[in-house]
Amino acid sequence: MTVAYLGLGANLGDARQTLKDAVVCLAQQHTIAVLAKSSFYRTAPIDAGGDDYFNCVVKLETTLPVRHLLALCHRIEHQFGRERPFRNAPRTLDLDILLYGDHCIDEPDLIVPHPRLTERAFALVPLVEIDAAIVIPQHGRADALLAAVASQRIEKMKSPCQCPILGALAGKNTESSGGGCR
């Protein structure tokens, strides 16, 4: 089993609900155990136009090799209507592998740790929320990198009830969520 961290983001449609449903979808996978989910954060698009993004990070344990995890992320994005008309286009759902164990991968279509993880508040802040002592391979402790992204606008969202998500994480029960894999 490998511990991995995924960054989730969306800025089209009901982005908050999409993120909730995507976490449930991940929890439904028999090859994945969702261990933790950060709060939702609202952030301005970076290097793009469009509406604000909603973001979160999930910590999971998986038996999937990294390439299979990447393929699963792409399938889930597609299920939620993700299109890629141009770089940094607005999106219904974006799933990025931020960390995969302590692996460092540098291939044309897969870089882990995520190549912009240390430059993006929308990834670093929720990552540190889940694990304050997390170390990013070749970069050091994530909390030590927060000062470099302090100028980026990020707002922690209040959540009136996370019951469906917590239920899905605890028992992989999707009946209470109204969402999940389609």
CATH code, domain with 81: 3.30.70.560
Task: For residue 33, give both structure tokens.
Answer: 């155990």
Mean pLDDT of the chain: 87
Domain count within the chain: 1
Task: For residue 34, give both structure tokens.
Answer: 């969702």
Does the residue 24 lie in any domain? Answer: yes
Q: How far apart are alpha carbons 103 and 8 in whole angstroms?
A: 20
pLDDT in tens, 85-136: 566 657 889 999 999 999 999 999 999 999 999 999 999 999 999 999 999 9
* Vertex 28 angle, CA 33 and 1, to 5°: 25
Does the residue 166 lie in any domain? Answer: yes
Does the residue 179 lie in any domain? Answer: no
Does the residue 180 lie in any domain? Answer: no
Q: What residues are annotated to the active site?
A: 82, 91, 94, 96
Does the residue 63 lie in any domain? Answer: yes
Does the residue 178 lie in any domain? Answer: no
Domain of residue 74: give its range: 2-171
Distances in whole angstroms, Cα of residue 2 to Cα of each of 19, 69, 73, 79, 101: 23, 11, 16, 25, 6
Does the residue 74 lie in any domain? Answer: yes
Q: What are φ and ψ of residue 179, in 5° steps?
A: -140, -160
